[in-house]
């Protein structure tokens, strides 16, 4: 369960939240299972926070720092994660249908069993080293817009689809 003092603080606004984070660098925020739907979290410092099972549907997380954040089973339906730092974040089992991930940094993120949809935007999204095994709702055309490397692990159905696309180009 979320720390109620921290939950109330973030609801007061990002400026006071970020100031508190700066003054308390050793505190790991616990916002697990909190309801932050439709919240403006633009440029919020949520690095290393516990947001497991948090409800973040329709929230604006543009430019937020979610580096090494636990977002396991979080609900991010139609969230704006554009230009968000999600390096090494745990998004296992999260729901990210219709999310905007353009220019987001998901390097080495855990996206195992994450739910996506064809509406998710991956333009220039960094997926280097990300693990998308078991993820659902993705297409090769979406993934082709993202930045990948040999360490990126795609779901089996996409690996096969990408191989087929390669063969068609020959």
pLDDT tens profile 16-54: 999 999 999 999 999 999 999 999 999 999 999 999 999
* CATH code, domain carrying 82: 2.160.20.80
DSSP per residue over 8-32, as a string? HHHHH-HHHHHHHHHH-TT---B-T
pTM: 0.92
**Ordered alpha helix ranges (H), the chain:** 4-12, 14-23, 140-144, 156-168
In angstroms, the CA 83 to CA 90 distance is: 17
Predicted pLDDT of residue 1: 84
What gap in Å lies between CA 10 and CA 97, rounded to an integer?
24
Residue of 66, 98, 105 whose CA lies nearest to 83: 105
pLDDT at 170 over 70: no
How many domains would you assign to the chain? 1
C-alpha 93/C-alpha 131 separation (Å) is: 12
**Tokens of residue 46, six digits:** 């949520």
DSSP 163: H
Q: Which pLDDT belongs to residue 159?
A: 73
Whole domain around residue 46: which residue ranges? 1-170
**In this predicted model, what pLDDT tens digit does every residue of 107-149 receive, in sequence order?**
999 999 999 999 999 999 999 999 999 999 999 999 999 999 9
pLDDT reading at 70 higher than 50:
yes
């Amino acid at each position: 369960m979320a720390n109620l003092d921290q939950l109330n603080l973030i609801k007061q606004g990002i400026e006071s939240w970020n100031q508190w984070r700066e003054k308390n660098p050793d505190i790991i925020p616990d916002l697990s299972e909190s309801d932050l739907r439709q919240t403006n979290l633009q440029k919020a410092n949520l690095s290393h926070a516990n947001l497991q099972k948090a409800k973040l549907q329709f929230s604006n997380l543009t430019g937020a720092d979610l580096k090494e954040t636990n977002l396991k089973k979080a609900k991010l339906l139609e969230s704006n994660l554009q230009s968000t730092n999600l390096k090494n974040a745990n998004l296992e089992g999260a729901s990210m249908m219709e999310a905007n991930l353009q220019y987001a940094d998901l390097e080495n993120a855990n996206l195992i069993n994450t739910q996506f949809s064809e509406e998710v935007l991956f333009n220039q999204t960094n997926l280097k080293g990300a693990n998308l095994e078991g993820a659902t709702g993705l297409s090769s055309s979406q993934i082709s817009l993202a930045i990948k490397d040999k360490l990126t692990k795609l779901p089996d159905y996409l690996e096969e689809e990408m191989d087929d696309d390669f063969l068609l180009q020959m």
